[in-house]
Amino acid sequence: MTGIAELLEAPGAAIEAEDDFDAVNALVRERGWGDGLPIVPPTAERVRGMLAYCDRPLDEPVAKIAPRYGEATPLRLAANAVMAGCEPRYFPLLQLAIEAMCEEPFNLYAVQATTHLCAPLVIVNGPVARELDINSGHNAFGPGHRANATIGRAIRLALLNIGGATPGSGDMSTFGAPSKYSYLAAENEAESPWEPLHVERGFPAETSTVTVVGAECPHNVNDHESLSAEGILTTIAGTMGIAGANDVFYTAQPVVVMAPEHAATVASGGFSKTDAKRFLQEHANLPVGKFSKENIERRLRVTWKERYANAGMDALVYTVQKPEDIILVVIGGAGKHSAYIPTFGATRSVTHALKRRDGQHARSMEDFRRP
């Protein structure tokens, strides 16, 4: 296995630059290597430090990132992690998230290149979220925690610099979105009345995982008045029933995020997670007549021909085709809010467990330390 020193000293592995913060950032802007914010200069010393928590061959790709299908080697990912401001112990989670979103069902090529405003959302579960202090509570999707901000930013820089998702060429999003800077949070397992997402998907509770979703930004669901499970779920379902979402036209997996107070009310009403999903699927709908004539004829009557070929204007169109396709997680702090996160539609979420190179589940980031 090639060592760090040899790789960093190989021809083309590094470029000479003035040892000055402003000069390096000017170079990054000139070459189109950044996200518009200042970066930490990825010096050989810093990249070497980032790789202290990598137990893989440094020059072997962990994945190929669309749309360019650039090889995401640990060395290249480490440079982007440095630029983003990551701590070295975050590095295994960055690799894991990149691996997961490069799985075929996720459809990263389309997520990266579409005119839609989606971005890969990363939901972290298990002990690693606590070990790295990944925020799952107040402001989990916002600023304030280094792990959330910099791991999410490192993912975006890798999608740009390795994957080629340059705005206006590789990334054709009409509007873009704030989530294209960083989009990562942990599930608030401690305050959830239900089993967490990774356990629901068949992993032991002590396993650490990431789940990636090709998602829009969260849409707030405000319900301070409902005192029953049915009331809160009705409000959430009403928010989900919208004509302009991609999910309506696909077998999609939108995300419903409940803050702990809403989740507690729903659970105390006797609803399991499965029950809540079933209620939401049945009630998140709108009549055919809410769609434009062109969308009815060119999309609904074509995509769901067996259901709407001859349907009248009062026939119901469902946001989600199957209850099990709803991703239901508990995230956030105090406050009677939930959130609805529509997706790109033509994408499936992927969950990967954090494992060492030998295939064993990692108990801690220390399992990845290089000898």
- At 92, which helix (H) or strand (E)? helix 91-101
pLDDT band at 8 (very low <50, low <70, confident <90, very high): low
Q: What is the pLDDT of residues 310-361, one digit of tens each?
A: 999 999 999 999 999 999 999 999 999 999 999 999 999 999 999 999 999 9
| pTM recorded for the entire structure | 0.95
Assess whether pLDDT exceeds 50 at residue 17.
yes
Angular region, 225: left φ>0, alpha ψ -120 to 50, beta rest: alpha
As a whole number, mean pLDDT of residues 103-123 equals 98
Distance CA 63, CA 74 (A): 10
Contacts of 235 (CB under 8 A, 6+ apart): 221, 222, 223, 226, 338
Distance CA 176, CA 165 (A): 12
Name the residue ranges covered by the structural domains of the chain: 1-216+348-371
**Which of 95, 96, 85, 187 has the alpha carbon at shortest distance from 146?**
85
pLDDT band at 9 (very low <50, low <70, confident <90, very high): low
Determine the pLDDT at residue 170: 95
In the sheet where 350-353 sits, what is the strand order?
184-186, 119-125, 209-215, 350-353
Q: What is the pLDDT of residues 73-99, one digit of tens each?
A: 999 999 999 999 999 999 999 999 999
